[in-house]
């Protein structure tokens, strides 16, 4: 009766049809219920709410936003905050991870043990716990604005957050930028010229002063000629609070602190694995070829270590970005906090809002994995699969 | 004729043994190392004494009230006072024997599995039946059942470490079979099935757990017909399982890929059907390879469980916040967080240690 099932082709098709039908039915069931429930409960649908006045204040913002801005503006504020936290977190996590990863391989017993203890402690604690812990600690340790920690009267740290000088660019500053890009192009030409000369004559010349001149000297010269078109807006104590400057809240500080401390453990492990994966014979071979220590490191060891280390590190960047959504727990205004939190509570359109939030993270993770593929392609062992 | 002049003798080698030798070799072998060592010592000096002072020396272990605690250091009696809350949440005191009994049963089962080689002939039957009955026992013990005469305790009363363990365990157990199917689906030659699996995996992997939790908390009831109610905890469990499934699937896919091609060919040559091949030949090997990574993914899940506090479920971490709202113990949040951190850390450390021993045991490459 079921003889036709033994035919592979027919069975394959049958299975797939059944699977697709099941998925389609589940989707149909869910969506029809959704429509019915939306009608029954009188939930509004559609994306009109994005244009409506948001009506709430967001303290932490990098773009223009007021109570009268729309929900879409609130979305952008949250999105930008998410990106800012992720980027700054990624920078700190990478620096810290590099230090810890190298420290774990140090011949110095104390240093390597300290690094190991660091990894063991912070990797085995939930990230949310760490965020709450640092936030709680900051609120205990930081002084009131009047008694702020004061660094050279330019940078202040207190309960309200950290206050930095805010750079103000005048329109002439664009010339400095142009000079910088010109300098970069120039140094590229210099590099080409000298490596060609090196190929032809075999003479290696010192070149760093040319780079310094074109990359730093040129923009600095233009900056000076134009009469310093860059000012700083310094924060100052006005009454009970600081005014002016660039400020980041304690929530932001706690989040960046926790995210980078946590992610650094994984990055350091990736770096350690990368360095350890390079066979000792490679180093010996490099030295035997007559390369110097630095050259061996630069041309033989690092490229191999990075090939192993960088893919997991990029994955950690993605994890950090996703973990930044935990900002909601301490009330930092990131995408989840502002949009899936405040806006959702006001508008009540859960479906659209959550789908939009998910779409943002999906896009971010897609971009990061595109970057990962690009890096993998760049670093693959050349000549093997060509 | 050349005249040989003796070179000056080198100084005697530095002591390589004893404390001094160890110190020179490991801490002061070069100028840089000396600087680094001093830096590390300074760092330890900055961190350790105040920490030890806060945690132990100046800490208060016996105070009965908040006022008796010295303000400058930890007040551990607060933890003692709130211990039940941290462990069981609002689970009624007279029913604490139920989770305790479950813990004993669980440990017994672990012992039976550990020493299962003593009764080899029906080993698998015992283990399988244990795994079949265990979830039922666990459910009836924790939730209760009117028919069996065990009072029902609603899940909104559950909390603390008990809840953390329940969520993590249910997450791993429920996601396991689905994960296997997804992994097989991703490897399948059937394009439609492969597409569905890959889409699901990549979708879920790209978004943070917290958005999934938000989704199940707010949207799940909308997807079902009118009148179907979902417990808050059940929603969280569904979300956690949806999330964990994907990671289990990827771990098992790794295991599947590690099974040598020859095993497939041998099974095909023996005339086994696809199901037979998978159940008897491929999956056992793939799972064996994946076990350390499955434990690793369980550890990750255990850490992620803390997120349920964001949708208002009181796991241990949430308790640390909740307990401070008690006006008798204001300002003791740090102690709560440190306590939760210590408990979680020990559990996670033990688990990751276990995963390492497993990795060694299953490493058959020599």
Contact B26 A12 (CB under 8 A): no
B216 found inside a domain: yes
Q: Which of A129, A318, A351 is the mutation pick for testing B, counting most B CBs within 10 A?
A: A129
The Cα of A295 is separated from the nearest Cα of chain B by a number of Å equal to 21
pLDDT at B15: 63
Residue for token pair 């956690």: B240
Structure-model confidence comparison of residues A245 and B190, the more confident one: B190
pLDDT at A386: 45
Structure-model confidence comparison of residues A278 and B122, the more confident one: A278
Query: From B332, which residue of chain A is nearest by alpha-carbon distance?
Result: A136
pLDDT at B6: 84
Contact B337 A133 (CB under 8 A): yes
B119 found inside a domain: yes
Would you state the structure tokens that stand for residue A105, as one six-digit string? 């391989």
Residue where one domain finishes, among candidates B102, B120, B153:
B153
**Confidence bin at B29 (pLDDT 50/70/90):** confident
Which domain does B139 fall in, by range? 87-153
B71 found inside a domain: no
Q: Which of B29, B307, B339, B351 is the mutation pick for testing A, counting most A CBs within 10 A?
A: B307
**Confidence bin at B14 (pLDDT 50/70/90):** low
Query: From B228, which residue of chain A is nearest by alpha-carbon distance?
Result: A33
Chain B residues whose beta carbon lies within 8 Å of the beta carbon of residue A362: 203, 206-207
**Residue among B192, B214, B317 whose CB faces A128 most closely:** B317
- Rounded distance between C-alpha atoms, residue B157 and residue B91, angstroms: 5
Calculate the alpha carbon distances from A23 to A18, B198, B216, B356 in Å. 9, 14, 19, 39
DSSP readout, B115-171? TGGGGGGGHHHHHHHHHHHHHHHHHHHHH-BTTTTBPP--GGGB-HHHHHHHHHHHH
Chain A residues whose beta carbon lies within 8 Å of the beta carbon of residue B334: 136-137, 140
- Rounded distance between C-alpha atoms, residue A332 and residue A80, angstroms: 12
- Rounded distance between C-alpha atoms, residue B95 and residue B91, angstroms: 7
Residue B240 and residue B305 in contact, taking contact as beta carbons nearer than 8 Å: yes
Q: Look at residue B366 and tell me whether its pLDDT is greater than 50.
A: no
Are residues B273 and B149 both part of a single domain? no
Calculate the alpha carbon distances from B199 to A351, B185, B191, B194, B327 in Å. 20, 11, 12, 8, 50
**Confidence bin at B339 (pLDDT 50/70/90):** very high
- Specify the pTM: 0.85
Helix (H) or strand (E) holding B350: helix B333-362
- Rounded distance between C-alpha atoms, residue A322 and residue A267, angstroms: 16
Would you give the distance in Å from CA B17 to the centre of its chain?
A: 42
Are residues B350 and B212 both part of a single domain? yes
What would the pLDDT profile of B100-120 be if each residue is shown by its tens digit?
888 888 888 888 877 777 777
Contact B309 A128 (CB under 8 A): yes
Q: Per-residue pLDDT averaged across B289-297, rounded?
A: 85
The Cα of B139 is separated from the nearest Cα of chain A by a number of Å equal to 27
Q: Which of B41, B195, B206, B225 is the mutation pick for testing A, counting most A CBs within 10 A?
A: B206
The Cα of A368 is separated from the nearest Cα of chain B by a number of Å equal to 10
**Confidence bin at B315 (pLDDT 50/70/90):** confident
Contact B27 A350 (CB under 8 A): no
Contact A354 B189 (CB under 8 A): no
Query: From B351, which residue of chain A is nearest by alpha-carbon distance?
Result: A124
Are residues B132 and B260 both part of a single domain? no
pLDDT at B345: 93
B127 found inside a domain: yes
Helix H segments across chain A? 8-41, 71-104, 109-123, 127-141, 173-201, 208-212, 218-225, 250-277, 280-288, 293-295, 302-323, 335, 344-347, 350-379
Please, what is the average pLDDT of chain B? 84
Chain B residues whose beta carbon lies within 8 Å of the beta carbon of residue A129: 306, 317, 337, 340-341, 344
B164 found inside a domain: no
Are residues B110 and B241 both part of a single domain? no
- Rounded distance between C-alpha atoms, residue B202 and residue B230, angstroms: 27
B160 found inside a domain: no
**Mean pLDDT: which of A171-175, B44-48, B354-358 is highest?**
B44-48
- The alpha-carbon radius of gyration of chain A (Å, integer) is 28
- The alpha-carbon radius of gyration of chain B (Å, integer) is 28
pLDDT at A2: 57
Are residues B134 and B203 both part of a single domain? no
Are residues B212 and B111 both part of a single domain? no
Q: Which of B48, B210, B240 is the mutation pick for testing A, counting most A CBs within 10 A?
A: B210
Are residues B265 and B205 both part of a single domain? yes
Are residues B239 and B325 both part of a single domain? yes
Are residues B186 and B315 both part of a single domain? yes
The Cα of B60 is separated from the nearest Cα of chain A by a number of Å equal to 19
For residue B340, the domain's CATH number is 1.10.3720.10
Query: From A119, which residue of chain B is nearest by alpha-carbon distance?
Result: B349
Are residues B353 and B207 both part of a single domain? yes
**Residue among A30, A128, A140 whose CB faces B307 most closely:** A128
Q: Per-residue pLDDT averaged across B156-166, rounded?
A: 88
Contact B40 A125 (CB under 8 A): no
Are residues B192 and B338 both part of a single domain? yes
pLDDT at A264: 95
Are residues B124 and B196 both part of a single domain? no
B7 found inside a domain: no
**Going by DSSP bridges, is the β-strand pair A236-238/A155-158 parallel, antiparallel, or unpaired?**
unpaired
Averaged pLDDT in 10-residue chunks for chain A of 386 residues: 65 86 92 86 80 78 79 89 93 94 87 92 92 90 77 78 77 78 84 83 76 78 74 72 77 93 94 89 90 86 86 90 89 87 84 91 89 81 58
Contact B309 A329 (CB under 8 A): yes
B334 found inside a domain: yes
pLDDT at B157: 84
Contact B40 A111 (CB under 8 A): yes
Q: Look at residue B65 and tell me whether its pLDDT is greater than 80.
A: no
**Residue among A38, A107, A361 whose CB faces B29 most closely:** A107
Chain A residues whose beta carbon lies within 8 Å of the beta carbon of residue B74: none
Chain B residues whose beta carbon lies within 8 Å of the beta carbon of residue A15: 190, 193
* Range of weakest confidence among B42-51, B136-145, B160-169: B136-145
Number of domains composing chain B:
2
**Among A331, A332, A357, A361, residue whose Cα is nearest residue A344:** A357
């Amino acid at each position: 009766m079921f003889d036709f099932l033994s035919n592979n082709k027919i069975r394959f098709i049958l299975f797939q049809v059944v699977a697709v039908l099941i998925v389609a039915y589940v989707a149909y069931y869910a969506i029809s219920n959704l429509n019915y429930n939306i009608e029954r409960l009188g939930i509004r649908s559609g994306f009109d709410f994005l244009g409506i006045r948001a009506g709430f204040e967001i303290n932490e913002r990098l773009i223009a936003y007021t109570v009268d801005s729309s929900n879409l503006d609130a979305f952008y504020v949250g999105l930008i905050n998410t990106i800012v936290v992720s980027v700054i977190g990624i920078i700190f996590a990478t620096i810290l991870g590099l230090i810890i990863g190298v420290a774990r391989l140090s011949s110095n017993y104390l240093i390597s043990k300290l690094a190991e203890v660091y990894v063991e402690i912070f990797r085995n604690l939930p990230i949310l716990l760490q965020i709450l812990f640092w936030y709680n600690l900051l609120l205990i340790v930081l002084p009131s604005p009047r008694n702020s920690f004061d660094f050279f009267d330019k940078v202040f740290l207190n309960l309200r957050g950290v206050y930095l000088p805010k750079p103000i660019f005048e329109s002439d500053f664009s010339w400095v930028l142009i000079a910088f890009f010109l300098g970069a192009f120039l140094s590229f030409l210099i590099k080409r010229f000298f490596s060609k000369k090196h190929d032809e004559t075999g003479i290696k010349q010192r070149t760093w002063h040319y780079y310094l001149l074109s990359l730093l000297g040129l923009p600095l010269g233009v900056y000076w000629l134009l009469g310093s078109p860059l000012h700083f807006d310094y924060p100052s104590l006005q009454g009970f609070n600081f005014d002016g400057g660039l400020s980041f809240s304690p929530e932001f500080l706690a989040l960046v602190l926790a995210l980078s401390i946590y992610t650094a453990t994984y990055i350091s492990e990736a770096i350690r694995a990368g360095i350890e994966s390079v066979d000792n014979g490679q180093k010996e071979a490099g030295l035997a070829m007559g390369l110097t220590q630095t050259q061996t490191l630069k041309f033989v060891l690092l490229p191999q270590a990075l090939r192993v280390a960088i893919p997991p590190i990029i994955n950690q960047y993605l994890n950090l970005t996703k973990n930044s959504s935990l900002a909601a727990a301490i009330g930092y205004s990131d995408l989840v906090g502002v949009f899936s939190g405040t806006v959702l509570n006001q508008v009540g359109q859960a479906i659209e809002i959550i789908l939009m939030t998910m779409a943002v993270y999906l896009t971010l993770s897609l971009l990061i994995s595109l970057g990962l593929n690009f890096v993998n392609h760049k670093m693959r062992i050349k000549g093997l699969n060509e | 004729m050349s005249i040989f002049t003796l070179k000056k003798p080198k100084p005697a080698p530095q002591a390589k043994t004893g404390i001094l030798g160890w110190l020179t070799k490991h801490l002061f072998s070069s100028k840089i190392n000396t600087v680094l060592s001093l830096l590390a010592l300074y760092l330890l000096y900055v961190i350790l004494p105040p920490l030890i002072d806060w945690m132990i020396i100046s800490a208060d272990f016996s105070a009965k009230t908040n006022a008796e605690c010295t303000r400058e250091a930890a007040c551990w009696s607060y933890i003692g006072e709130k211990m039940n809350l941290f462990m069981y949440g609002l689970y009624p005191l007279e029913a604490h024997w139920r989770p305790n009994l479950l813990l004993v049963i669980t440990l017994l089962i672990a012992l039976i599995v550990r020493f299962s080689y003593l009764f080899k002939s029906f080993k698998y039957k015992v283990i399988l039946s244990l795994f079949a009955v265990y979830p039922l026992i666990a459910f009836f013990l924790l939730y209760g059942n009117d028919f069996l005469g065990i009072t029902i305790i609603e899940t909104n009363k559950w909390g603390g470490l008990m809840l953390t363990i329940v969520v993590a365990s249910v997450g791993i157990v429920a996601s396991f079979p689905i994960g296997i199917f997804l992994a097989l689906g991703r490897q399948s030659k059937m394009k439609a099935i492969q597409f569905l699996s890959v889409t699901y995996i990549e979708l879920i992997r790209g978004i943070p757990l917290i958005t999934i939790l938000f989704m199940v908390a707010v949207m799940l009831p909308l997807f079902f017909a009118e009148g179907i109610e979902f417990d808050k905890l059940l929603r969280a469990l569904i979300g956690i399982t949806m999330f964990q499934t994907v990671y289990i699937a990827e771990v098992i896919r790794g295991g599947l890929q590690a099974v040598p091609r020859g095993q497939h060919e041998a099974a095909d040559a023996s005339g086994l059907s696809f199901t037979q091949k998978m159940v008897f030949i491929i999956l056992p090997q793939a799972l064996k390879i994946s076990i350390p990574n499955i434990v690793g993914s369980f550890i990750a899940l255990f850490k992620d469980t803390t997120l349920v506090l964001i949708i208002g479920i009181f796991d241990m971490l949430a308790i640390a916040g909740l307990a401070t709202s008690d006006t008798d113990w204001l300002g003791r949040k740090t102690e709560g967080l440190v306590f939760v951190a210590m408990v979680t850390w020990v559990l996670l450390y033990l688990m990751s240690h276990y995963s390492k021993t497993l990795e060694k045991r299953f490493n058959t490459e020599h």
